[in-house]
Structure 1
Amino acid sequence: MSIFFAAVLWILAKGGQQLASTQPMRWNYIAKNASLIINNDIKDHIKGNEILKIIAVPKTKAINWDNIKLSIQSTNNVIFRINNKPFQSARLTDFLTGSLMQDLRLDLCLYSDSDDKKDSEITLLLTKEKDGVIEELDKKIIKWDNKVTNLSFVGLENKQISGYKELSISIHNLGDTVKTDEITLTHEVSNTQLLSSNTPIFYFNGKNIHKSLTLQEILGESMPRELAPNEIISNIKLQLANTNNCTEATVKLVLKHHNMQWVSPTIKWISKNIMLSFQGLPKKELSYKAPLQFKIKNEGDTINASEAILKVWNRNLSGLNISLKVNGKPINVKEAQISLSDLLSTDKVLQKGEAVNITIEQIEEKKFNPHTSQSIELGLYGIYGTQNKLLSKNRTSHLGPSRR
C-alpha cells in the first residue's frame, strides 16, 4: 500500500525571509502491512532441535494473501526446515492445509548442520510483490546454536564477607566455547534483618551492579572473546559499595546465557566481623573477696568498644543478693548488660588482636555470709544494627569462700 503526501519546498532568498519558489513534491511512503506479522512472542535465540511457531495471523482482519512470500537466510551453511521440509523461500499459500488462513502453521526447526559449525544467524523475511515492487512486511533475526552451555561457580560454599572486604569469584566453563558478551552476571540480595526493605549495594570489579553486566563489561575487555572449554575465570571481585543502612544480608550470584541460568550458593555479608573472646579466666573456684580478673580480646575486625556488650549473670546459690562491681561500675541486678565503652570510660577503638582488662569484685554488705557460694556467668555480645549476637559465654567462674 502506498500513501502520497504533498509537500511544499520553501527556498529563502539570501538576506531575507522572501518566499522565492514553491513546488509540490511527491513523497512515496510504503506503509508496513500490520495485518501479518512474524510472531511477536518468538524467541531471539533457539538451541538444537527447538521448534518455533513463526507466523501470527490476526483473526480480525481480512488479508490479501496473493504474492506474500516467506524467505529464510542462514549463515554457516546451516539449513533449517519449515514443517519438516528444508526451506529457503516459498509463498504462504503453499503451506495452507485448510480453507482458512488462521489454520496456517509454520514451524521452524533445524534441518542439518553438515559443517558442524554449531551456530548460525537466521533472518526471517516476509515480503509482498505488487506491480514489480517488493514490499517488506516484517523481519526477524534469530540466533541458533547447537552448543552445550554449562557454567558453574567455583568455591563459594559457606562463604562470608564483612564490611568492604573483597570476595574472589571464579567461574568455570564446563561446556563448549561461549562468548563473554553473551554471558551476564547479576546478583540477588536479601536483607536478613527484616526491619527494613533496604539492601546493601555491591560492585563487580568496581562496577555498580544496578543491572546485569556482561562478563565482557565486568572483565573490562574492549572486545568480546570466547571462553574455551574447561576455562576458569578467577579475576572477578565482589565488594560492598554502600551499606544502605544495613548490617546483615545474603547474596546469591546469577549467571545467565539466553534462557539458561546458574545460581551460586548463598553468600553471607555482615557489616563487621565482630569476634570477641575471654582470655585468662580462672579455671578453679576463687576464694572469698578475691577479684575475678580476665581480658576481653578482639579477634575480628576493628570495632569501637560501644559495639561490644558484656553480660553478667549474678547467681547467688544461697539466695542472698550480693552486689558486684565491674571495673568499678556497681551492678545490683541478677542480669546486667554493660557496654564495653562504659567499662573503659571511653568509646575506645579496638584493633584486631587487642585486649582490655576487666575486673569483677564483690561489694560486701551487712547481711553477707562468708560461707555463701556465688556463681557468675559471663557472655560477650556483638551489636549488629538493632540485634545483639552472642559471641562467647563462660559458665564456670565462681566467687565464694575457700574450701576447707
Structure 2
Amino acid sequence: MSSSQLVEDIEKFLELCEDYGSDGEDFGSTVNEENVDMEDEEEHDSEGTSEEEEEDIFDSDDEDNIPLNLLRKKIGIIEFTKIVLRGKNKHKWSSKKGKSHRYGMNVVHQARGPTRECKNITEPLKCFQLFITDDILSEVVQWTNAEINVRKKDLVSSTAQTRETDLDETKALVGVLCLTAVSKSNHLTSDELFDCSYSGSRYVSIMTKARFKFLLSCLRFDDKAVRLRICNDKFASIRKIWDMFIQKCRQNYTPGSYLTIDEQLLAFRGKCSFRMYIPNKPAKYGLKTIMMCDSGTKYMVDAMPYLGKGSNTGDLPLAAKHDGAQDLEILQSELNQHHAMKDLAYEIKKEGKMLAKRNPEMKVYAFDLQQCLPTPFL
C-alpha cells in the first residue's frame, strides 16, 4: 500500500467519524461505495458468516462475545499492514505497541527482608540481641558503675544493694523493664511491681525492690564529664547508644524499593528538654521521632529524634553550626571581612553620587551592592 493511498484511507475514516457524530448512526450504515472493497475483505475473513447471523450478533447486548473481525467491521477500524507510518511532517508513527525500557539504576535487585546473617534466627531472644547487643549493654555497664562509685563516697557503709553491676545483671534489668511493658504494668510503681499479692513473684524472683530502685537511679549511658562540655547537643546523654542501635537497624535488614518518612510521638511524661505536646496525638505528651520505614513490612530503617527549634547561637545565624573553636574563629573573621567590604562599597557609592551632583555632565554608574558583594559561607 502506497503512502498516498494510506492517507486517502485515513481521510475516509475521519469522514465516517464526522457522519457518526452528526447523525448518530452506526458506521455500518454510513459506509460509502468507495469502502466496499474493504468490507468485502472483512466479510471474506469472517469464514462464511451469513448476514442474518451477523445481525443477530450485533443485536445482542454482550459485545464481549462478538468476533474480532465482525467487531472491526461494525465500528470501522482500519488495519495497517505496515508497522512504521509517516505523517505529513515526516514524523514516524508505529502501529504496534513498543517495549518500555527501565534503567538499570532504578531496578532493585535485592528483595526486602532480613540480611543473610539474620535469616536463620528464629528465637526471640537472639533476635532481640541483634539490636540490643553486648557492646551497647557494656557501654551502659561502664558508665553505670562509674555513677555507683560516685554514690558510694556519700554512703556510710557499702551493702549488697549498692555493689557494682555487671553485664548479666544489666540484661536482667532490661528484661524486667520489657516484661512490665508486655504485661501493661509499666505505669505501676516499684512497690506495686514487687508486691507478690499484687503482681505475683515474677519480679521478686529476679532482684529485690531496693536493688531495682538503686540501679534505675544510677543508670547512665555516657560520661557525664564529657557531656557537660557538649552543651549544644540536647541528645548527648544517649547519642552514642542511639547511634549504635540505629546502625544495627540498618545492618540487619535490606529495605525494599518503597520507603516512607513520617513522625511518631513516643509517649513520655518525664522531665526532658525536648518533650513535646501534640494535642491531636493519642498520647499528647512525648518525644517526637522522625522515622524512615519500609512501606511493605513497617520495619524502621532509620530514625532521628526531634530536639526542638530552640538553640543558642550567640550573634551568629542559625545555620552556623561548628564543632570546633577554630572553625568558629575562621567564620567570625570572614564575617568581619564581609562587613568591612560592605562599608567600603557603600562609602564609594556615596562619593560617586555626591560627585554626580556637583558636576551634572559627569556620568556615574552605580551597581546593586547586594548582588555584587561576596558573602561568606554561613
Q: How does the TM-score come out when normalised to structure 2?
A: 0.21
Kindly indicate which of the two structures has a greater share of residues assigned to strand: 1
- Structure showing greater Rg: 2
Q: How does the TM-score come out when normalised to structure 1?
A: 0.20
Kindly indicate which of the two structures has a greater share of residues assigned to helix: 2
